[in-house]
Structure 1
């Protein structure tokens, strides 16, 4: 998962456009982990990758946006190691999962109490209050899902119901896991945890980002539901978020 060993093969100040597919893919995965809008980590030098890398270099003051410096490689490696530590930490109880979600949100750039509270409320609602990754319509059979869900087998899974083939492709490319061949990988805690934090930060689910509705200075728990699923059950989830806001 999140294999970026190819970063070790990049010579300092290599041109981004000249990197091999595996090395560029490692850079893309590092950028995705840092919440830069790189899109799929496909190993191709397209405008999303070029712009995301330029933004990263500018933010970190790493010099020429066309070049991959040793400092850039080290930064990306450190961030990947940091997120893997969070993803691999114990999650054997609902309290531990709640703690991990908070850590993942702070890491990805959603550090405010209201943002974390809404992430917790979403995970609680989507998992029927269990804080365990679940399948869409988990109370029904796989046969039912096969017959009734037009996006089968890429139906909802995880803490936040990762759905549709394109989203499985996205997280397969970022995480380096065979999610398209085995969609049930999305039920793993580490995968589900990354998806809920990264997806709500980047707008992967509906193109709406959590920061559009919840910032340091403003909180709209009702409309924040648009990040996941329109306005479905918005009031119920907002009420849960208010509870968590008092506890964080």
Structure 2
């Protein structure tokens, strides 16, 4: 993520009430929190309960002593440090299936999806969604001319049809993830096929529940492993049993 610019303008002398931040500052704060996996809601520059609660959670996780509805230069510096620590690792190798599988493993760990069973399910999803190629694909990729087909049959969300290692759809999701990765996905949705972007979307969506409101930890955690119901994170129960078997296979190889 880019360096925090708007938030750096906060008065260094005393805490500032979160609700007094301007729209640009709130957008920067929301983007940063969501990038780090905190449920700050929409990136809309509006102060609300989700932004306030996500900030409070961040303060608690980073052991800050400031009031939970306030922000200052110290906490902005901590936010920047957290973003720097979580910065995208360069050097992922997407040139082969093995390289992409390893990239998914490493990105899961980087974003805080650390259980082998969780990583196995993320791998299984990418495995299934890309028809076992582990290459970013478009929705209806098996057709000779998927773009024309989707324009005719899915005009409600065209051209924001599914792309990536998992299907990113709808304009608001492209806009949201564009802000998170620093690319204009809204005007150039084809960029969602870039492996680096597709990888971030895949893992971040599982971690935060961005796709359906269900997080991978809802079904796979230290106390339970439900490879069937975990499909609710992506697409109801479509192919749930088939993907569960893929997850078992990937888990055996981890």
TM-score, normalising length: structure 2: 0.88
Q: Which moved more, 1:130-139 or 1:90-99?
A: 90-99
2:152 to 139, 142, 147: 147
Aligned to 1:51: 53
SS in 1 for 2:192: helix
1:77-111 residue CA offsets vs partner (Å, 9 max, x unmatched): 2332233332x332333222222222222233321
Higher share of residues assigned helix: 1
**In 2: Cα distance, 1:197 partner to 1:85 partner:** 12
TM-score, normalising length: structure 1: 0.90
TM-superposed CA distance for 1:38, in Å, is 0.6
**In 2: Cα distance, 1:145 partner to 1:106 partner:** 35
Aligned length: 246
1:219-230 pair list within 5 angstroms? 219-230=225-236
Say whether 1:129 aligns with 2:127. Answer: no
Structure 2 vs 1, CA of residues 49 and 229 (structure 1 numbering), >3 Å: closer, same or farther?
A: same
5+ residue gaps, structure 2, are none
**In 1: Cα distance, 2:249 partner to 2:106 partner:** 19
1:19-30 pair list within 5 angstroms? 19-30=21-32
1:190-201 pair list within 5 angstroms? 190-201=196-207
**In 2: Cα distance, 1:79 partner to 1:56 partner:** 10
Q: CA RMSD in A?
A: 1.9
TM-superposed CA distance for 1:60, in Å, is 2.1
After the TM superposition, which segments of 4 or more aligned residues of structure 1 sit over 4 Å from their partners?
A: none
Say whether 1:178 aligns with 2:150. Answer: no
**In 2: Cα distance, 1:101 partner to 1:11 partner:** 40
**In 2: Cα distance, 1:52 partner to 1:184 partner:** 31
TM-superposed CA distance for 1:157, in Å, is 0.5
Contact 1:155 1:162 in 2 (8 A): yes
TM-superposed CA distance for 1:197, in Å, is 1.1
TM-superposed CA distance for 1:143, in Å, is 0.9
1:42-191 pair list within 5 angstroms? 42-63=44-65, 64-86=67-89, 88-92=90-94, 93-140=96-143, 141=145, 142-149=147-154, 150-191=156-197
SS in 2 for 1:5: coil
Aligned to 1:207: 213
TM-superposed CA distance for 1:112, in Å, is 0.5
Aligned to 1:240: 246
TM-superposed CA distance for 1:226, in Å, is 1.2
Say whether 1:3 aligns with 2:2. Answer: yes
SS in 2 for 1:26: helix
Structure 2 vs 1, CA of residues 98 and 69 (structure 1 numbering), >3 Å: closer, same or farther?
A: farther
Q: Which moved more, 1:212-221 or 1:160-169?
A: 160-169
**In 2: Cα distance, 1:79 partner to 1:193 partner:** 20
TM-superposed CA distance for 1:204, in Å, is 1.4
Contact 1:90 1:96 in 2 (8 A): yes
SS in 2 for 1:84: coil
